[in-house]
Structure 1
Amino acid sequence: MQVKFNWLAIIVAAAAAMFIGFLWYGLFFQLQWAEAVGFSGPGLTEAGAEVFKHGEPVTLEPTLPMVINAITMVLYAIFFSWLTAKADMASLSGGATLGAVLGVVVTFSHYVTNRFAMEPEFLSVIDGTYHIAIFAAIGAIVGAWRKK
């Protein structure tokens, strides 16, 4: 079976995942995540103020990570579009389920990596549940919005 990609669904799914990331790291868990990775300082809540990582001043430059993130979200959406079709789970619930299951696998990977790096367990919870959420959302969108 040849997979037909719905490019509009892929772009919408990637944008939705980026919006979830904005909510996750920008609103819901901003301060907890910053503390877990060693960021501190008034720059976390005040524009233009200083930010420190493990006590050393740093300059936050989000442009390159955001570009790479956008590309990655599109690649995730292409992958989930292909996978939901190949796994015969091309529906909203099928895509969301497949995404959530793969998100759990990635969560375990985050946990193991962070344990070896002796990072706080809560960092694994934040990053892992983020991947469960974005993979479920991407899977649901591309699973439900199939090209006929």
Structure 2
Amino acid sequence: MGNVNLLAVFLGALAFFVIGALWYGPLFGKTWKDLIGYDGDKLPYPASKNPMPVIMGLAFLLELLVALMLGHNIARTDPPPWVIMMMATGFGAVIMTPALGIHYLFQQRPGKLFAIDAGYFVVGMAAMGGVFVAFA
């Protein structure tokens, strides 16, 4: 078993975070806000009292946790680059996306919102995988 590459973990989480900034900003930000009912002033449901820097910081910490798990799996198996990409994208496509889908089914959220959020997980995880391949 190899050691977890902590630089790749940090940079992989950072890549995921940057994809999120693009995904929920210029790419799908307006549609996403419309789908969640954000009118530019307030959300249609009681929102967290946490300031945005706290929310962003916690999101990054959670992305670090995902990256650490991926890094652990890579260190345990020492896979070739194409398998790293399969693992990373697979996390997004067949673990994170179905979990999100189950959650959205019970919340009766729109399919278009699911597609935006699930797409972020798959593309973000692929970006994370790319970082791990670069540092393999």
Q: CA contact under 8 A between 2:89 and 2:125: conserved in structure 1?
A: yes
SS of the aligned residue for 2:56 comes to: helix
Which residue of the other structure, out of 97, 101, 122, is the alignment partner of 1:107? 97
What aligned pairs does 1:1-148 form with structure 2 within 5 A after superposition? 1=1, 3-40=2-39, 43=40, 51-54=41-44, 61-91=51-81, 93-105=82-94, 106-146=96-136
- Percent of counterpart pairs with the same letter? 25
> What is the distance in 2 between the residues matched to 1:58 and 1:142?
34
Moved more, 19-28 or 58-67: 58-67
Q: Which has the higher strand share?
A: 1
Q: CA RMSD in A?
A: 2.4
3-state SS, counterpart of residue 139 of structure 1: helix
Which protein is richer in helix relative to its size?
2
Question: Normalising by the residue count of structure 1, what TM-score does the alignment of the two structures yield?
Answer: 0.79
TM-score by length of 2: 0.85
> Is the alpha carbon distance of 1:57 and 1:69 closer, same or farther for their aligned partners in structure 2, counting shifts above 3 Å?
closer
* Rg larger in structure: 1
Does the Cα contact within 8 Å between 1:10 and 1:81 map onto a contact in 2? Answer: yes
1:54 shift after superposition? 2.6
5+ residue gaps, structure 2? none
The one-letter code sitting in structure 2 at the alignment partner of 1:23 is: L
Amino acid at match of 1:99: A
Contact 1:94 1:140 in 2 (8 A): no
Shift of 1:82: 1.2
Q: Contact 2:4–2:75 at 8 Å: present in 1 too?
A: no
Contact map agreement 1:81 1:143 (CA 8 A) in 2: no
Structure 1 residues 57, 126: CA separation in 2 closer, same or farther (over 3 Å shift)? closer
Q: Read off the aligned partner of 2:87 and give its amino acid letter.
A: L
